[in-house]
Amino acid sequence: MSTYHNDLILRAARGESTERTPVWLMRQAGRILPEYRAIRERLSGFKELVETPELAAEVTIQPVDILGVDAAIIFSDILVIPDAMGLTYEMIEKKGPFFPNTIRRRKDLEKIHVIDADELSYVYDAIRLTVKGLDGRVPLIGFAGAPFTILCYMVEGHGSKTFSLARKMLVQEPDLANALLDKITRSTIVYLRAQAEAGAAMLQIFDSWAGILSPDLFREFSLPYIEKICRAMPEGIPLTVFAKGANFSLMEMATLPCDTLGLDWNIPAKLAKQWAGPDKTLQGNLDPAVLYADGTEIVKRTKAMLDSFGSHRYIANLGHGVYPDTDPQAVKIFIETVKAYHHAEVY
C-alpha cells in the first residue's frame, strides 16, 4: 500500500487505474512563482539555491502548496553531475551555464572521476527535507540528465544550438566519447540510487539534447547508456525517460526497462501511443506556449490533449519546462482543467 495521500502519479506510472489523470509541470519550482523569486533574490546565485538543502526543499514544495500539482520534483540541475565529477560550472545570469574546463581530448578524462555516494550530499539532504516537508501529500521525483546530454555540456562548455563540437567527438573519436559516456553513466547510477534512498519516490532521466542526434547516433551513443541506468535502478521506483526531440526513436525507447516515456510537443498523441505501445505510460505533451493564451484557449487545448491520450497510462504535463514568463494563473487553469476532467470512458 502506498504511504501517500495522493499517489495518482505512481499508479499511473505503473499502469494501474486512477480516478483521474495526474498532473505536474517540468520547472514548476522556479521563476514563474513570485514566492520562488523572493527566495532567489536574497541569494548570490542559482547555484547557492541548488546547494542549500533547506532552501532547495522550500522551493520544491512551493508548487505543491501554491499550484496543487500531483508531484514535487526536487529543485536542482542536471549539471550537478559534471560539477561533482570535477568540471565545475558557473551559471551566468541570462546566458546559462559555463564550464571553464571541458573534455576535448583523452587526457582531459583525467580531470574527472566517477562519483561516490557521499558526493552531492546537498541534493540528498534536500530530498530528505522535502520528503519531511511534504509529509506524504504527494510523491517526490528525483532526476538526472542522460549521459549524452551531460556529454554535450562537458565537451562544448556551454549551451549551443547545434552542439557540433560534442557531435564531432561522437563521429571523430567514438572511443573517447564512449569512455566519457561510461564515466557519466556510472556517476549517474550512483546519483539516482542515492536520490531514491534519500526518499525520491520516482526518478526521471532528461535527455534534453537528444533531438540534435540522428536516430542512428541516438541508437549508438544515447540509448545504450540510458538503458544501463534503467537496469541499475532500485526495484519499485517508477522510472521516466524523456528524450526531447528523439520522437523517431520512440519505438526503440519503448523497449527500455522503464515505466514512463516523456513527450515533447511535436509528436501527435495518436502516433506516440502507437509507437510507445501498451506497456508504457506517456507523459506530456502540451506546447508550453499554450500557457501564454487566455483561459478559454488553455482549457480547450488541455481538454483536446486529455481526449487524445485517454484515461489510462497517462500523466499530464507540458512538452518542456514551463517558460519563466508564464503567468501562474495560466498554470493553475491548466492544472484545474486536468483535475476536473472526466473521460468519456468508464474507469
Q: Which residues are catalytic?
A: 27, 31, 40, 77, 153
296: exposed, middle or buried (Cβ count in 10 Å: 0-12, 13-18, 19+): exposed
287 binds a copy of itself (CB under 8 A): yes
Query: Is residue 88 part of the contact set for a copy of itself (CB under 8 A)?
Result: no
Size of the site for a copy of itself (CB under 8 A): 35
* Maximum C-alpha span of the chain: 60
Based on the shown chain and the rule CB under 8 A, indicate whether residue 223 belongs to the binding site for a copy of itself.
Answer: no
**Does position 91 bind a copy of itself by CB under 8 A?**
no
Rounded to a whole number of angstroms, the minimum distance from the CB of residue 114 to a copy of itself is: 27
Residue from 159, 224, 257, 277 binding a copy of itself (CB under 8 A): 159
Given 5, 289, 307, 347, the residue binding a copy of itself (CB under 8 A): 289
List the one residue from 236, 325, 344, 346 that touches a copy of itself (CB under 8 A): 325
Under 8 Å between Cβ of 140 and 204 = no
Least CB distance to a copy of itself at residue 162 (A) = 7
The string of DSSP codes covering 87-127 is ---EEETTTEEE-SS---SGGGGGG--PPPTTTTHHHHHHH
Q: What distances in angstroms separate CA 63 from CA 128, 134, 204, 332, one per listed residue?
A: 18, 11, 18, 10
Interface with a copy of itself, residue 257, by CB under 8 A: no
Task: Among 42, 94, 107, 161, indicate the residue that binds a copy of itself (CB under 8 A).
Answer: 161
Kind of pairing, strands 239-243 and 96-98?
unpaired
Cross-strand bridge partners of residue 236:
none
Is the distance from CB of 302 to CB of 36 less than 8 angstroms?
no
- Judged by CB under 8 A, does residue 248 bind a copy of itself? yes
The residue range among 175-183, 234-242, 244-252, 338-346 that interacts with a copy of itself, by the rule CB under 8 A, is 244-252
Amino acid occupying residue 320 = H
Binding letters toward a copy of itself, positions 167-196, x by CB under 8 A = xx-xxx------------------------
CB of 222 to a copy of itself, least distance (A): 13
> Per CB under 8 A, does 265 bind a copy of itself?
yes
Nearer to a copy of itself, 118 or 216 (CB): 216
Smallest distance from a copy of itself to CB 262, Å: 16
In the bound state with a copy of itself, the residue whose beta carbon lies nearer, of 124 and 275, is 275
Q: Near a copy of itself by CB under 8 A, which window of 2-10, 108-116, 141-149, 154-162?
A: 154-162
Distance CA 212, CA 246 (A): 8
Q: Quick count: other Cβ atoms within 10 Å of Cβ 201?
A: 24
Inter-residue contact 77 to 89 (CB < 8 Å): no
Structural contact between residues 303 and 342, judged by C-beta atoms closer than 8 angstroms: no
Q: Report whether 97 contacts 89 (CB < 8 A).
A: yes
| Residue 158 makes contact with a copy of itself by CB under 8 A | no
152 lies in the binding site for a copy of itself (CB under 8 A) = no
- Radius of gyration for the alpha carbons in the chain, expressed in angstroms and rounded: 19
Q: Is 66 helix (H, G, I), strand (E, B) or coil?
A: helix
Give contact residues for a copy of itself (rule: CB under 8 A).
Answer: 159, 161-162, 164, 167-168, 170-172, 211, 213-217, 245, 247-248, 265-268, 271, 287-290, 292-294, 297, 301, 319, 323, 325
